[in-house]
Chain A
């Protein structure tokens, strides 16, 4: 634990060995719950009920409280939770959940109708009725392969294409989808299905089949990256990939 002697005098110039947190080996300097004494809560039901062994360092620590949103319900999914957080406004998580689960409901109804129409057993088994599977595959299809980064040289701003990590691609897919659905639900783009929920359901379903407006936007983005291929060496660093 770091000493807090110099908390009151913030403008005094002090040597580095006297600064707050110098002796601490923790990575985050301002964590209320020091990782040496507190451990993250166990969210998996079987692990939590099984108990900890003495060989586990967590046996000698305290457990942090589990966030109320992280309860291991059977329908909990990481990607869907991210989508809910993206669709949330002003911290209203209930509304975000309503929107996303409403979209999943509509996808499910659409596939249920197709399932009823199918006549043979093979056709019925081939139809995917789980909306979470469709939504996840749709978001995977929406991931871009490159991203454009701003780079100024000689007073001119260039858009340089760069490779993208998996987490960043996932974020881009979710954000572009949310932005598109907000736009479609506002400005008279569709005569039918004007809600955010309807648009989200349609775009996720189409993205699963690799068509639709969200996929088109992704492909346009890729074309812009291709057009700026000449500037790729501005930020290319050999050895760092």
Chain B
């Protein structure tokens, strides 16, 4: 009677991998890029790590707006070190091409879950900060549509809904991130008078910083101040006074569903929320010397109870018809899983920091198993290393 052993397939795969791979050289050291300055990164720096100094972290308030797992890593290691990958250089090259002669460049970062969309987004924001762009970042557009703190009906336009909590958050972040350009911004002036109420108005020729301060003081005027600020920034960037970057994470939520109810009890569509309307105007109006950096995220479309439908990751699927009609033409930037070299870099980084506590994870076999279990996906690899 001839019998056969049923071998687990993982070991067959390991054996095949061992025979065909050539990258079994043990790298003991992490390779750093040629410079830490993102303005001078070159294609040969792909796959290497660079440091973000603490001054930029606090200047950009990144220690408050990073995604949660990366924030926890910051706390543990007390430094921000990340990989220079291909999407980062693509974003940086697009931002280098910003010009007064061409209209605003729109970039959409897309990719599978856990491949580094948000991190590439923040790498682009860091580059723009160094290159003296004026930054208007929206940390989470899904938050704008779905969290309801306090709403009021708009006075300026009937039917629109104001959200002063979100508008004030945006204005505080704008103020923090543009501290180094605050003097320049105070020299730029408004185009016309804005009459807010019987008592308050900002006259023609007032500095832009006054709009920001007014919005932060008065909650009832915050959203309208934000709208006026957006219009003025666009006007000044077309003139050539400043370079403007609009950065929105989870941007496809601007064309998605909301959880804000109207008086009738029905859900308000995203057209009728004024903050979302002001951000959408960046896509519908023509303005120069600037860029829009957007991220297409699947969280808008996936429902926690629906385990059978799998939404696609492409911008066309996630933004929808109306979104693509507004955004077209745009530059898609894809993020992918780690390559062999990138994986080795992150592994060596965790080893150097003594983060891997399981002695089996430090062996060669443990490393091979980590590669197969995580499928070279950055998110899965980070989760596996968290408890090992």
- A residues adjacent to B (C-beta < 8 A): 41-42, 45, 48-49, 51-52, 59-63, 65-66, 71-75, 101-102, 104-105, 108-109, 111-113, 115, 129-132
Interface residue from A45, A52, A115 paired with B354 (Cβ < 8 Å): A115
- Which residues from A are CB-within-8-Å of B93? none
Interface residue from B5, B373, B386 paired with A105 (Cβ < 8 Å): B386
B310 at the interface (CB under 8 A from A): no
- How does the 8 Å CB contact mask read for B345-388 relative to A, with 1 for contact and 0 for none? 00000000011011111010110010001000000000000111
By the criterion CB–CB under 8 Å, are A74 and B7 in contact?
A: no
Complex Cα gap A130–B354 (Å):
11
Interface residue from B72, B76, B369, B386 paired with A74 (Cβ < 8 Å): B369
B8 at the interface (CB under 8 A from A): yes
- Which residues from B are CB-within-8-Å of A115? 354
- Which residues from B are CB-within-8-Å of A51? 5
Question: Can you list 24 A-B contacts with CB-CB less than 8 angstroms, sorted by A residue number?
Answer: A45-B11, A48-B11, A49-B7, A51-B5, A59-B3, A60-B1, A65-B6, A71-B8, A72-B8, A73-B369, A73-B373, A74-B360, A74-B363, A74-B365, A74-B366, A75-B358, A75-B361, A101-B387, A104-B387, A109-B72, A109-B76, A112-B76, A112-B355, A130-B358
B10 at the interface (CB under 8 A from A): yes
- Which residues from A are CB-within-8-Å of B361? 74-75
Complex Cα gap A61–B5 (Å):
9
Interface residue from B5, B72, B358, B387 paired with A52 (Cβ < 8 Å): B5
Complex Cα gap A48–B8 (Å):
8
- Which residues from B are CB-within-8-Å of A130? 357-359
Task: Across the interface, name the chain B residue whose C-beta is closest to A70.
Answer: B8
- Which residues from A are CB-within-8-Å of B8? 48, 66, 71-72
Say how far B132's CB is from chain A's closest CB, in angstroms.
Answer: 36
Given contacts A73-B369, A104-B387, A109-B76, contact A132 B3 (CB under 8 A): no
Complex Cα gap A102–B384 (Å):
11
By the criterion CB–CB under 8 Å, are B358 and A74 in contact?
A: yes
Say how far B73's CB is from chain A's closest CB, in angstroms.
Answer: 10
Say how far B234's CB is from chain A's closest CB, in angstroms.
Answer: 45
By the criterion CB–CB under 8 Å, are A105 and B387 in contact?
A: yes
Complex Cα gap A139–B89 (Å):
50
Known: A48-B8, A74-B360, A112-B354. 10 other contacts (CB 8 A): A42-B5, A48-B7, A49-B11, A66-B8, A74-B358, A74-B369, A75-B388, A111-B357, A129-B354, A130-B359
Complex Cα gap A111–B8 (Å):
36
Task: Across the interface, name the chain B residue whose C-beta is closest to A59.
Answer: B3
By the criterion CB–CB under 8 Å, are B369 and A62 in contact?
A: no
By the criterion CB–CB under 8 Å, are B354 and A60 in contact?
A: no
- Which residues from A are CB-within-8-Å of B387? 75, 101-102, 104-105, 108, 131
- Which residues from A are CB-within-8-Å of B366? 74
Interface centre among B6, B365, B366, B387 (most CB of A within 10 A): B387
Task: Across the interface, name the chain B residue whose C-beta is closest to A72.
Answer: B8
Task: Across the interface, name the chain B residue whose C-beta is closest to A134.
Answer: B357
- Which residues from B are CB-within-8-Å of A104? 387
Closest 9 CB pairs of A and B: A129-B357, A74-B360, A104-B387, A130-B357, A105-B386, A101-B387, A74-B366, A105-B387, A63-B6
Say how far B176's CB is from chain A's closest CB, in angstroms.
Answer: 28
- Which residues from A are CB-within-8-Å of B373? 73
- Which residues from A are CB-within-8-Å of B358? 74-75, 130, 132
Say how far B8's CB is from chain A's closest CB, in angstroms.
Answer: 6
Complex Cα gap A75–B358 (Å):
8
Task: Across the interface, name the chain B residue whose C-beta is closest to A102.
Answer: B387
- How does the 8 Å CB contact mask read for B272-285 relative to A, with 1 for contact and 0 for none? 00000000000000
Interface centre among A52, A71, A75, A112 (most CB of B within 10 A): A75
- Which residues from B are CB-within-8-Å of A71? 8, 10
Say how far B190's CB is from chain A's closest CB, in angstroms.
Answer: 47
Complex Cα gap A48–B373 (Å):
20
Task: Across the interface, name the chain B residue whose C-beta is closest to A111.
Answer: B357
Say how far B352's CB is from chain A's closest CB, in angstroms.
Answer: 14
Complex Cα gap A65–B363 (Å):
28
Say how far A77's CB is from chain B's closest CB, in angstroms.
Answer: 10
Interface centre among A42, A108, A132 (most CB of B within 10 A): A108
By the criterion CB–CB under 8 Å, are A108 and B11 in contact?
A: no
Task: Across the interface, name the chain A residue whose C-beta is closest to B368.
Answer: A74
- Which residues from A are CB-within-8-Å of B365? 74
Task: Across the interface, name the chain A residue whose C-beta is closest to B360.
Answer: A74
Say how far B358's CB is from chain A's closest CB, in angstroms.
Answer: 6
Task: Across the interface, name the chain B residue whose C-beta is closest to A46.
Answer: B11
By the criterion CB–CB under 8 Å, are A75 and B360 in contact?
A: yes
- How does the 8 Å CB contact mask read for B164-190 relative to A, with 1 for contact and 0 for none? 000000000000000000000000000
Say how far A201's CB is from chain B's closest CB, in angstroms.
Answer: 11
Task: Across the interface, name the chain B residue whose C-beta is closest to A65.
Answer: B6
Task: Across the interface, name the chain B residue whose C-beta is closest to A43.
Answer: B8
